Structure 1
Amino acid sequence: MFPRISAINPTDRADLLAAVAEFVTDPPAANHSNPSFPQVLVPGSDHPALEALAAAIRKNKPGLESLLDSSARFSSGASQECRGFRDGDGGVWIQEHGIRGGRGDQDVYRRPVFTANELPLEIRIGFHNEMAYLPDYPDVVMFFCEIAPPEGGETGIVQGRTVYDAMARDYPEFVRNLEEKGLVYYNFLAENEWKEKFGTDDRSQAELKASKLSKKLQWLDDGRVKVYHGPRPAIKQLKENSKTWFNNIGTSNPTTPNLRHLEYGDGTPLPLDALKASLAFMNDHQVPHKWKPGDVMVVNNHAVLHSRHPSKPPRRLLVSDFLSCKKSRL
């Protein structure tokens, strides 16, 4: 069951966990086998002052970060201002990651806060680690619910090492190839699309702009361009000597190949049966969070994948991704 924190004032993990008094009424999914994931912290007051809560977070940064190492964390009804959780000297996570690679489907809300992916709400966004297709990806991703949808719209989360363990057991050759070859992510742009996207009709200028976004371009005879990232690692070593699923395979759709193009780092195709199995496993072992206004979710991007369920409008989440304040990555 999820803990309820009546006061956030301890200075280390042991004291923090000792402060647990009650539990909230939102248990994890019935088919989820790890009751300690995710960690949920709820302020004792229904309407805590933002300044006091931010001060408590800053004071207890080590304990809170230790909880984040291998899980995600919610803080329900905590605030009506997303920036308060990440701004200021001595905040929990203060070094912004930025927007390398572009955010074509997101609007700037107030830097460094953005709206979450603005693809139509009826579209399901599959499990992924944020910007795993880039060499420079965020350590931490924070979501804030401004408007909760009337139906659907849950954010699903799943632990990457759970996915890795299952796939390594059932599809060892697939996982071995992912570890040895990595992944290439790519899509195609028509001639008018790449000219608009890069703001030029000069191929050399387009290539220069693409390189600044860690993209490579391959010009095709029909006027289109293949835009790709990679090869990028698909499996990541966590600091506790375990491996985790770290990729955007979950955003692919084996029945609609042109939705997301993936291949091994050497250009060979991924096995369809293993792809489908990985998607099914993540879906079956996810913890879906049904949003309420004011909810905050903080995700360790190295260890946890997230997704978006389809929903009815309106739904508005704000997101900020940034580097851990620790010198070394989690």
Structure 2
Amino acid sequence: MSVFSVQPLIEGKSLPLLLKADKAGQPLGAALPRLRDTVDRHLTDCGGIVFRDFSLDGPDAFRAFAADFGHPLLTYEFGSTPRSQVTSGVYTSTEYPPHQHIPLHNEQAYTRDWPMKIWFYCMQPALQGGETPVADSRAIYRDMPPAIRERFAEKGVMYVRNYGNGLDVDWQQVFGTESRSEVEAYCAGHDIECEWKQDGELRTRQICQGTARHPVTGEWVWFNQAHLFHVSNLEPEVRESLLDVVGDETELPRNVLYGDGSPIDDETLSTVRNVLETHKISFPWQAGDVAMLDNMLTAHARAPFKGPRKVIVAMAEAHRQG
């Protein structure tokens, strides 16, 4: 007997797929064996699945549900945004102010190590806004102007980060340690160049992929966060004020170059953002919804919101770019 239906969440869109309980309030964990089979058959085609009208009893049940797909949950290492741990392997979504928009991105695409799976659990939707839009990274890759796509594929992307000084997340939080030697060991093991500056703060550089090939489907995807790290992501007045504080772009909390060290111009990244925006698919959260994404095939974002909002996150299935 069926315990859920399978249908598009949005008519005419394959992303995301909706798995909806036949009877509201069915325990999500109890339905897992049948859900897992459906996920195995559909996730790499659609890229993302929403589980709706099931019952899930809080963060620990969410953690168990995500872990039962067969991979240990990951810790949020080398993070780029503020988050808090809710329970083992489960974190708050990015703790940016509610009025701020978070653009489309693939989780940790600014590194050479990332989760293949990411889950979101909506415990409380916002009174207004607060959606988590998604987009097909394969379609973004196909629609990116060929000259831009080829340049990113050939050169890669260099991410430059200056930590702390009250301007961004400090290195102790990013690396989860107070030990410089532990930071240096982590960087050495992950192909990250690091240096301690005269003020005692840390600068890192890492050259990563601009595009990537999915290890299961073999499809190429747009996979970087250049549009987020680049200084052009800031509002003009914020950009000018920040540069007044730090002196020059090499001291910005975060910035990005091509992998050969040459600059990425504002116009190129404006084009990238426009392509991303054309592929955005948005849907309102309902309390109790769980969304599961293939992190390489599907990018996600966050819309501004009003009122309390609680969405928590889990990640699994570590993958490392060769």
| TM-score normalised by length of structure 2 | 0.79
CA-to-aligned-CA distance 1:42-69 (integer Å, 9 cap, x gap): 1011111x2xx32332244233122111
Once residues 13 and 170 of structure 2 are traced to their aligned partners in structure 1, the CA distance between those partners, rounded to angstroms, is 47
Contact persistence 1:189–1:226 (CA under 8 A): yes
Once residues 328 and 221 of structure 1 are traced to their aligned partners in structure 2, the CA distance between those partners, rounded to angstroms, is 32
Letter in 1 for 2:83: Q
Aligned to 1:131: 108
Alpha-carbon shift at residue 305 of structure 1 (Å): 0.6
User: Runs of 5+ in structure 2 lacking a partner?
Assistant: 240-251
When residues 319 and 45 of structure 1 are mapped into structure 2, their CA distance, relative to the original with a 3 A threshold, is same
Contact persistence 1:161–1:244 (CA under 8 A): yes
**Among 253, 261, 266, the residue aligned to 1:267:** 261
Residues 1:73 and 2:49 aligned together:
yes
When residues 225 and 111 of structure 1 are mapped into structure 2, their CA distance, relative to the original with a 3 A threshold, is closer
Letter in 1 for 2:82: D
Once residues 186 and 70 of structure 2 are traced to their aligned partners in structure 1, the CA distance between those partners, rounded to angstroms, is 30
Counterparts of residues 1-330 of structure 1 (less than 5 Å) = 7-8=3-4, 20=6, 27=10, 35-48=13-26, 50=27, 53-70=28-45, 71-81=47-57, 82-84=59-61, 87=64, 91-102=68-79, 105-167=82-144, 170=145, 172-189=146-163, 207-208=184-185, 211=188, 215-220=192-197, 225-228=202-205, 230-238=206-214, 239-252=216-229, 254=232, 256=234, 260-323=254-317
When residues 322 and 206 of structure 1 are mapped into structure 2, their CA distance, relative to the original with a 3 A threshold, is closer
Once residues 77 and 88 of structure 1 are traced to their aligned partners in structure 2, the CA distance between those partners, rounded to angstroms, is 15
User: Runs of 5+ in structure 1 lacking a partner?
Assistant: 9-18, 29-33
Aligned to 1:12: none
Once residues 88 and 74 of structure 1 are traced to their aligned partners in structure 2, the CA distance between those partners, rounded to angstroms, is 14
Once residues 104 and 162 of structure 1 are traced to their aligned partners in structure 2, the CA distance between those partners, rounded to angstroms, is 26
Between the two proteins, what is the percent identity of the paired residues?
A: 23
| TM-score normalised by length of structure 1 | 0.77
Question: Tell me, what secondary structure is at the counterpart of 1:69?
Answer: helix
When residues 88 and 190 of structure 1 are mapped into structure 2, their CA distance, relative to the original with a 3 A threshold, is closer
Once residues 262 and 125 of structure 2 are traced to their aligned partners in structure 1, the CA distance between those partners, rounded to angstroms, is 42
Question: Tell me, what secondary structure is at the counterpart of 1:45?
Answer: coil
Alpha-carbon shift at residue 312 of structure 1 (Å): 1.3
Alpha-carbon shift at residue 129 of structure 1 (Å): 1.0
Alpha-carbon shift at residue 217 of structure 1 (Å): 2.0
Question: Tell me, what secondary structure is at the counterpart of 1:320?
Answer: strand
Question: Tell me, what secondary structure is at the counterpart of 2:31?
Answer: helix
Alpha-carbon shift at residue 88 of structure 1 (Å): 7.2
Moved more, 244-253 or 302-311: 244-253
Question: Tell me, what secondary structure is at the counterpart of 2:108?
Answer: coil
CA-to-aligned-CA distance 1:103-130 (integer Å, 9 cap, x gap): 7611111112111111211111111111
Letter in 2 for 1:80: L
CA-to-aligned-CA distance 1:224-257 (integer Å, 9 cap, x gap): 54223x2111211134343111112342462526
Letter in 1 for 2:153: E
When residues 130 and 55 of structure 1 are mapped into structure 2, their CA distance, relative to the original with a 3 A threshold, is same
Contact persistence 1:101–1:214 (CA under 8 A): no
Once residues 209 and 27 of structure 1 are traced to their aligned partners in structure 2, the CA distance between those partners, rounded to angstroms, is 43
Letter in 1 for 2:113: D
Alpha-carbon shift at residue 97 of structure 1 (Å): 2.4
Alpha-carbon shift at residue 176 of structure 1 (Å): 1.3
Question: Tell me, what secondary structure is at the counterpart of 1:323?
Answer: strand
Alpha-carbon shift at residue 309 of structure 1 (Å): 0.9
Once residues 88 and 223 of structure 1 are traced to their aligned partners in structure 2, the CA distance between those partners, rounded to angstroms, is 42
